Homo-oligomer: A and B are copies of this chain.
Amino acid sequence: MSSLWSRTRNAVYGEITRTAMELFLTRGFDATTIDDIAAAAGISRRSFFRYFGTKEDVVLGDLIASGDLIRQALEARPNSEDAWTALCNALHTVKDTAYDDETMLKIFRMVHETPSLRARSIEKHLQWQALLTPEVRRRLGADPENPLDVRADALVATVITCLDVAGEAWTRAAGSVPLESLFDAAAAAVRPHP
């Protein structure tokens, strides 16, 4: 029952995120230093690193949580669905509701244009893969002891790659088309007639 402490901690966490994101979206990611964020948020430089391991985590911190949501969604899919279909359906549940579409577009652009952000983003996607692979292996009936069975890894990695491709196209199209339909088009291109 650490009600007050954890509440203030969450409040500070949110305050840093808000302040930092505003600075990022106006000045740019690289042009914003940790000192800028700390000063604007009214905390010390050292405390910033107690909430976020890296500057990139401020932007991408929620992605890990999303990964766990996708895992739960995947496990909730009925066994009647084959692995690929279940994965696609699970991916459809990702909805980042923290920002409006226009802000999301700016964030996407920033992530794609900033190498360090882009790299971290992909690292997070790799962590998603590790989260999702066990369930897919189960659905495929793969021998858990056989590290040479790459089917599950390939399927998971491919689906997430399709999401990545869709996200990039979505930014190119300035959000004029829903992300979901772009993802469906990418998935369909990879699997013509399942």
- Taking Cβ atoms with an 8 Å cutoff, the residues of A that contact B are 115, 118-120, 122-123, 126, 147-148, 150-155, 157-158, 161-162, 164-166, 168-169, 172-173, 177, 182, 185-187, 189-192, 194
Contact = CB atoms under 8 A, between A and B. Distances in A.
B123 A150 contact: no
Contact of A148 (B118, B152, B158, B173): B173
11 contacts: A148-B169, A150-B166, A150-B169, A150-B182, A150-B186, A153-B186, A154-B187, A157-B164, A158-B190, A190-B190, A192-B194
A165 B147 CA distance: 12
A177 B150 CA distance: 12
Give the dominant DSSP class at A's interface: helix
Contact of A151 (B123, B161, B173, B185): B185
Most B C-beta atoms less than 10 A away, residue of A118, A166, A186, A194: A186
Contact of A154 (B119, B150, B155, B162): B162
A28 to B, nearest CB: 19
Contacts of A185: 148, 150-151, 154
Contacts of A172: 147
